Amino acid sequence: MTETALIYDAIELYARALQALDTSQRGNFAPQSLNCNPANPTDTWKQGHLLLDALKKVQFQGLTGIIQLDGAGYRSNFQLDVMELTQKGLSKVGIWDSRPDRNKQHFTWVRTQHETLKIQEEDLKNRTLRVSSKVSDPYLMEINGTFEGYGVDLLNLLAQSLSFKFNISKVLDNSYGNPDNTSKYGWNGVVGEILAGQADLGIGDMTITHDREKTLDFTMPFMNLGISILYRQPDKQPPSLFSFLAPFHYEVWIYMATAYLGVSLILFVLARIAPYEWQDPPPCSKDAGEILENQFSLVNSLWFAIGSLMAQGCDILP
């Protein structure tokens, strides 16, 4: 039914585009004979881009909703009703919107979780499920021709709660399931029987692997087993003499030392050139009144730069 409605809307979209294009071209839009031979793929319809533009401009209300194409040629501005087939017929699950609002997602649930659980319970009532498993103590044990174990007890509780019946059968190859290229469905064991439709579900101490998770749906595990790797804790090594160099690469330290020496040297040269750095010596000096003194000597320049680098502050003289 859905495919029929989509085909009808597609034909109507094409017809409306042809009609609009013929009107705009004033009857000059005519079909062209083309060569469909695959050996000559360059033979294309020259007016094809005009028809494509006309298709993108058409908008109308069709059987499946608003028919409108975006700039890339995909259908836009439409909604889909997501339906689920149940024993009582089709049931609406939600609505998928191609252009959701900012505060909404593409999919909006219509049916509540309580209603979903109720429908699932009704589907299970009076049904007989085929259960596949392998003999594995204590989950499934065959004693005197009957099956017992934790898995059977769990199934009995579920059957009593959800009003269904079940039949347990042993898997032929006694395996929970591994990828098998020789199998029609690509798996053997319990997984293979479920994929082949020979079983409705499986139960046991089956490990949830990545490949199995992509193939089947698992319930919440009723038992978790932790797998750990033990190793000796490494001994702490005493710090070496040059451990303070560890935060940076040796190249960074070389750049910092070069910059430090370069700044100190430039500071020394500038202090020699600047006239205001030459001052009279203290009165108690024997050279007082005879020569000028510059406090930024090479040693003092190095001291001033290292104090600034360490952000500790310092006087000019050490």
Query: What pLDDT, in 10s, does the model give residues 76-97?
Result: 888 888 888 877 788 888 888 8
Which helix (DSSP H) or strand (DSSP E) does residue 90 occupy?
A: strand 89-97
From the CB of residue 133, how many other CB atoms can be counted at a distance below 10 Å? 28
Within a domain: 159: yes
In this structure, are 136 and 195 located in the same domain?
yes
Last residue of a domain, one of 215, 236, 270: 215
Measured distance CA(65)–CA(77) in Å, rounded: 9
Find out whether 42 and 100 touch, Cβ atoms under 8 Å: no
Within a domain: 252: yes
Pairing of strands 146-148, 278-279: unpaired
Within a domain: 235: no
Last residue of a domain, one of 174, 195, 215: 215
In this structure, are 193 and 155 located in the same domain?
yes
**Structural domain span for residue 143:** 125-215
pTM of the model: 0.47
In this structure, are 133 and 155 located in the same domain?
yes
pLDDT at 174: 87
In this structure, are 129 and 211 located in the same domain?
yes
Please report the sign of the dihedral spanned by the C-alpha atoms of residue 32, residue 35, residue 38, residue 43. Answer: negative
HEC assignment per residue over 123-145 = HHCCCEEEEEECCECCCEEEECC
Within a domain: 229: no
Count up the domains in the chain and report the number: 4
In this structure, are 138 and 86 located in the same domain?
no
In this structure, are 183 and 160 located in the same domain?
yes
What are residue 167's DSSP bridge partners? Answer: 130
Question: 257-289: per-residue pLDDT in tens?
Answer: 999 999 999 989 998 888 888 877 766 655 555
